[in-house]
Structure 1
């Protein structure tokens, strides 16, 4: 792990940019450590510097958690291949034209999840060696497909808060039945890009004995601010 920058923020949270191999990453830690760790992602690999993710990460860190995120392959500061660019261009054209985009999304998001899981697990290995972090580990983020895959592959992840606002490939929809950790699932009832019934079917498929669905009116980016507080209470129950 190579730390590239470090700063103390106004809320007392320490922000560190680091690289693990070629993977750009960020770690936020609270004033009091060691702290439980939350792995936090944004929808389908959006950059780790996205303002909404950073705001959630800082809020969660101020609540006493270490929070880490990384850029997925082809996202943020990581270069995209020609194939990535073609697939994303095809997706943009389909969405603008109002055409079915599931197969294009499958071709874009499926490989992203497959490639991201080992990178997140390697990052987790490195983070748990730091003295400022003391498990257990939770997951929180808009990239539900990654959260499902990590919950199945990584026994150190003991609880997950997922946002139902991104495309979940067929493989992860099948894997959802193998997810048994406690879940908090957030759904925007009027999400313009994500069919409501698909999200409800996914919630029904999870194998967890403890799973909670919070549904709020509004579009994709309209999640009420109080849900961040509720997510932290969910993490408090299972990580402390």
Structure 2
């Protein structure tokens, strides 16, 4: 892991960009060491510097003392997109504009994304846990499809917060039964791109003995800010 930039922000948070092989990422810390770590996984199409992700990360570091890390998934953010990626996105835009079914298109690029992103997150976790300012335990917050795979494969993840707004492939819906860590699941009740019943069925499938569903009125990007505090308190119960 190589740190490529460093700046102290006005809220006292230290923000450092890093690379790990081909993986670009950002680490936010507040100076309280060794700190529990939250892996912040963005949904499809977004960037590690997406404003809502950055705001949540800085808030978690400044107000709660967590270390928070985000990386760009393959084909996202600063990473190049393949011709296959571009074609799938074009097909998705066309199908959505025409009101056609999109599940098979999502399957065609979310399934490979999960297969690539989960090992990259595990390699990033290996590197982050060697830093003296990070002591664990570890939580994951973000994209549900990748988070399910990580929660199943990675024993160092002690708790997870999933956002129900992203497409979850059929394989991960089956894997959900193997997720046993404490879980917080956020659902936007009026998310036109995420069938409500599918999200509720997924919540029911999770194997966790402790799982909580927070449902709020509003569309895909309308998650209330207070959910950031609720999420941080959820992690405090399991990471501190």
Task: Tell me the TM-score range normalised by the shorter chain.
Answer: over 0.9
How far apart are the structure 2 equivalents of 1:139 and 1:30? 18
Q: What SS does the corresponding residue of 2:15 show, helix, strand or coil?
A: strand
Q: What SS does the corresponding residue of 1:148 show, helix, strand or coil?
A: helix
Partner residue in 1 for 2:102 = 101
**Are 1:121 and 2:122 an aligned pair?**
yes
Does structure 2 conserve the Cα–Cα contact (< 8 Å) formed by 1:45 and 1:72? no
**Structure 1 residue runs without a partner (length 5+):** none
How far apart are the structure 2 equivalents of 1:36 and 1:220? 29
How far apart are the structure 1 equivalents of 2:56 and 2:214? 17
How far apart are the structure 2 equivalents of 1:15 and 1:117? 24
- Report the CA distance between 1:44 and its aligned residue: 2.3
- Report the CA distance between 1:45 and its aligned residue: 5.1
Partner residue in 2 for 1:79 = 80
Figure out how many residues of one structure are paired with residues of the other and give that number.
239
Partner residue in 1 for 2:215 = 215
Q: What SS does the corresponding residue of 1:207 show, helix, strand or coil?
A: coil
Q: What SS does the corresponding residue of 1:86 show, helix, strand or coil?
A: helix
TM-score, length basis structure 2? 0.98
- Report the CA distance between 1:5 and its aligned residue: 0.4
The 4+ residue runs of structure 1 with deviation greater than 4 A are: none
Partner residue in 2 for 1:27 = 27
Partner residue in 2 for 1:144 = 144
Partner residue in 1 for 2:198 = 198
How far apart are the structure 2 equivalents of 1:98 and 1:195? 14
- Report the CA distance between 1:41 and its aligned residue: 1.1
Tell me how large the CA RMSD over aligned residues is: 0.7
Does structure 2 conserve the Cα–Cα contact (< 8 Å) formed by 1:37 and 1:138? yes
Partner residue in 1 for 2:111 = 110
Does structure 1 conserve the Cα–Cα contact (< 8 Å) formed by 2:31 and 2:133? no
Deviates more, 1:1-10 or 1:41-50: 41-50
Q: What SS does the corresponding residue of 2:80 show, helix, strand or coil?
A: coil
How far apart are the structure 2 equivalents of 1:207 and 1:65? 26
Partner residue in 1 for 2:3 = 3
Q: What SS does the corresponding residue of 1:103 show, helix, strand or coil?
A: helix
Does structure 2 conserve the Cα–Cα contact (< 8 Å) formed by 1:45 and 1:112? no
Partner residue in 2 for 1:168 = 168
Does structure 2 conserve the Cα–Cα contact (< 8 Å) formed by 1:19 and 1:25? yes
- Report the CA distance between 1:68 and its aligned residue: 0.4
Partner residue in 2 for 1:159 = 159
Superimposed CA distance per residue, residues 63-116 of structure 1 (whole angstroms, 9 cap, x where no aligned partner):
200000100111100001111111111111111111100000000111001100
Does structure 1 conserve the Cα–Cα contact (< 8 Å) formed by 2:37 and 2:134? yes
